[in-house]
Structure 1
Amino acid sequence: MKKGIKIVTIGGGSSYTPELVEGFIKRYNELPVRELWLVDIESGKEKLDTVGELAKRMVKKAGIPMEIKLTLDRREALKDADFVTTQLRVGLLDSRIKDERIPLSHGVIGQETNGAGGMFKAFRTIPVILDIDKDMSELCPNAWLINFTNPAGMITEALLRYGRNKKVIGLCNVPLGMEKAVADMLEVEQSRITMDFIGLNHMVFGKEIYLDGEKVTDKVMSSIAEGKMGSIVKNVKDLGWNPEFIKALGMMPCPYHRYYFQKGDMLEDELKEFSKGETRAEVVKRLENDLFELYKNVNLDIKPPQLEKRGGAYYSDAACRLINSIYNNKGDIQPVDVRNNGAIEGIDDDSAVEVSCIITKDGPKPIAMGKLPILANGLVQTIKSFERLVVEAAIEGSYDKALIALTINPLVPSEKMAKILLDELLIAHKDYLPQFA
């Protein structure tokens, strides 16, 4: 039997990779990663080399026998892997800038995972992820695929419906950030907080909140209503919540709910940033450049604290925690994106949902959450319909399904505007959308 674990990270040249490496180093005694393969494409080679050298310095400093391997050959890396993580960005940040700026130029919210921007990120990404899934079915059929690539919910949906591999889990840092925000507010360790998560990716609610197993939902909701909760993620502006609304909602919303519950204010804020050339994608591009300058320093052998300014801070910790729990059959509870299988009543069993799950060696077992409260059900069902249509449009290259998907999305004001955005974005991204040719 081979000793240790082989993990492959596709999109290994990402600025997030040092956090992933740190997570594996921290857990090495429980999770003996023998080989960590970082894979990227030709245009990402320079970043891959920079991040890879930093990863090697981090491992050397830790004094553990983990081998870091860098390659542009995905198939070479995948052979006999135990776990594969995906953190890729098709079209790089320049495509994200278009996803944000084109809708905003028409006075519509432009965002990486919601509305028109999220749809086009899905269109570019789904064929690539299904291609990875196909390679895995041949080269490492028993490996777990853990996807962090956004829009994670739609990508998990595509993999569950059209992929070959049944061992698929979507992962997001937002529920982790929600737990952390509650722990900070109550001034306790994060490990003492658990939540009943119910909903979809970037559309998830904390239905009940517990401290050491005791329900504290009402107390937490009162504190949120009083404005006592800090920011949950860096990439969504925290505009505060109307106290009466939060009390009426009775569940903890996630940061992305602001795009639906505070649509006008969020749009106004985005348009201000747009006019200054400061969309989130443009800010991230500058942050990334600064991070890679830091990573090049041959004396740097830790994850730099500046990485936490990126929107996905702590995701890698979530990924390492998840892999560790599967490998060690921990049976702990974590929020992940999985096949519904009745966890949320009223959503198709085959659909991807984001819920609390028991994590075992056989993967996540979703916990039955019952029905969505009536006040959340309509919005969640609308977004699930949007996601289903987006996935079908991405796979079939269907203009008609793309148009209907965008029209029913709550962030798009009319079918006329949906057509304008669809046509402009199809042209802007044509190099990455062969299925629509």
Structure 2
Amino acid sequence: MKLAVVGGGSTYTPELIDGFARLRDTLPISELVLIDPAADRLDLVGGLARRIFAKQGHPGKIVTTSDLDAGVEGAAAVLLQLRVGGQAARQQDETWPLECGCVGQETTGAGGLAKALRTVPVVLDIAERVRRTNPDAWIIDFTNPVGIVTRALLQAGHKAVGLCNVAIGLQRKFAALLQVTPAEVHLDHVGLNHLTWELGVRLGGPQGDNVLPKLLAEHGDAIADDLRLPRQVLDRLGVVPSYYLRYFYAHDEVVRELGTKPSRAAEVAAMERELLTMYGDPALDEKPELLAKRGGAFYSEAAVDLAASLLGNGGSPVQVVNTYNNGTLPFLADDAVIEVPARVDAAGAVPLPVPELDPLYAGLIAHVTAYEDLALEAALRGGRDRVFRALLAHPLVGQYAYADGLTDRLIEHNREHLAWA
């Protein structure tokens, strides 16, 4: 079985390689192709990837190439983990929104829109080239903003499923707190990508006992500290929001914080330089501990599980993914992309029923979905007015003066990536 990774030169990739090596019985790969236009990074990452496979006794071949068409030809699945504009663009996404008093973040708010505008056209071009050379390949999207990118892929008729590591990270955390195996923990995980809540934590499967009240009673302080939210917020809600909800629930506090410290992009860029130096060491044959601070924890395990299910090689029957709503949340259109537990097999992902949502959550989901509708329209068709409309619709912007100023800044900082600008 051949798999391809677009964005294979990412410093994330050794995490993925480690998962492929450890879980080779779940996903037996004979050839893994790492595709990236940055030849220098690709050489470093590819060398470490081969050493990881060799150390763990994986018989598969690892190929590196900058030729997308050749790299994806014959692949059963193609994983997308690219960052258009690199860390330099991320640095901009996290800084210029602050000039207007809005959150600067790479996947939500004005920065998230900028990333979507840069990314959607590139991903659609890649997917079309995959379809021309290999129409049966599954596309697994880990590229942010995952919800908008996955919707673009699905609307264009591609065989695509979106993947995020937030749910698997919480599953692993809760399993450790409960002192059970991760396989025993099922999440009532509901919402949109980077806008989700754990409404329940069940032991033994989707119909198991809900132990979330126990978790909050016994470990609420630790969970709240991880989310950087007050414990009383979790107690009053009775749910566990994803850490991205802090941008909504504590917007002004976050803006003040971001204005007084280096951006996350600057931290990551420094970390990447150190990681790439480490990757060049011929004695290194495992993912370094520093990589855990880079982000993307458990991404490899989620990716292996999803690919195995889509390719008919087993995998967990129920996984949290991004896919079409198709009536799951009745207040959204069928073609909205949601992030919920789904039954996954070779035919694709089918969302499982979810509990009726409190208006507190349903209202924000509907609001952000409306923004995502407009963001995708702006990404596909371009134009200043479409960018303005998307920003005005976003709950983290929402005022015309802010939306006007942010529109000008977004276009100015991203002109080289916007064909229409």
Asked whether the equivalents of residues 138 and 310 of structure 2 are also in contact (C-alpha less than 8 Å), the reply is no
Q: Report the 3-state secondary structure (helix = DSSP H, G, I; strand = E; otherwise coil) of the residue aligned with 1:393.
A: helix
The alignment partner of 1:338 has SS state of strand
Within 5 Å, give how 1:280-359 maps onto structure 2. Answer: 280-327=264-311, 328-330=313-315, 332-359=317-344
Aligned counterpart, 2:212: 217
Q: Tell me which residue corresponds to 2:258.
A: 270
Residue matched to 2:140: 146
Mapped to 2, the partners of 1:271 and 1:204 lie a distance apart of 26
Q: Any idea what the Cα deviations from partners look like across 1:78-119, whole Å, max 9, x if unmatched?
A: 111100000000000000001111111332210010100000
Distance in 1 of aligned mates of 2:118 and 2:218: 40
Q: How far did 1:37 drift?
A: 0.5
In 2, the alpha carbon distance for the partners of 1:269 and 1:188 equals 36
Q: Distance in 1 between matches of 2:217 and 2:250?
A: 20
Give the CA deviation at 1:188: 2.7
Q: 1:332 offset after TM fit, Å?
A: 2.1
* Runs of 5+ consecutive residues of structure 2 not aligned to the other structure: none
Q: Indicate if the aligned counterparts of 2:305 and 2:315 stay in contact, CA closer than 8 A.
A: no
Deviates more, 1:330-339 or 1:387-396: 330-339
> Which residue is equivalent to 1:200?
192
SS in 2 for 1:33: coil
Counterpart of 2:95 in structure 1: which amino acid?
R
2:197 partner letter: F
Q: Which moved more, 1:302-311 or 1:406-415?
A: 406-415
Judge conservation of contact 1:169–1:338 (CA < 8 Å) in 2.
Answer: yes
1:241 equivalent in alignment to 2:230: yes
The total of aligned residue pairs comes to 417
Residue in structure 1 matched with residue 374 of structure 2 by the alignment? 389
Contact 1:205/1:252 (<8 A) preserved = yes
The TM-score with structure 2 as length reference comes to: 0.95
| Conservation of the 8 A alpha-carbon contact between 2:26 and 2:304 | no
Report the residue type matching 1:175 in the other structure: A
The alpha carbon displacement at 1:370 in A equals 4.5
Q: Is this contact kept in 2: 1:181–1:230, CA < 8 A?
A: no
In structure 2, relative to structure 1, the CA distance for the partners of 1:301 and 1:358 (3 Å cut) is same
- Report the Cα distance in structure 1 between the residues aligned to 2:413 and 2:316, rounded to whole angstroms: 46
Find the aligned partners of 1:179 and 1:63 in 2 and give their Cα distance.
29
Query: 1:93 is aligned with what amino acid?
Result: Q
Shift of 1:334: 1.0
Q: Distance in 2 between matches of 1:211 and 1:222?
A: 17
1:9-408 matches, within 5 Å, as 9-41=5-37, 44-161=38-155, 163-165=156-158, 167-212=159-204, 213-223=208-218, 226-229=220-223, 238-243=227-232, 245-273=233-261, 278-327=262-311, 328-330=313-315, 332-408=317-393
Local SS of the residue matching 2:102: coil
Any stretches of 5+ residues in structure 1 without a counterpart? 233-237
Q: Identity rate of aligned residues, in percent?
A: 37
CA RMSD of aligned residues (A): 1.5
Alignment deviations for residues 331-360 of structure 1 (CA, whole Å, 9 cap, x no partner): 521100001111222111111100001121
TM-score of the superposed pair, with normalisation by structure 1:
0.92
**1:181–1:231: 8 Å Cα contact kept in structure 2?**
no
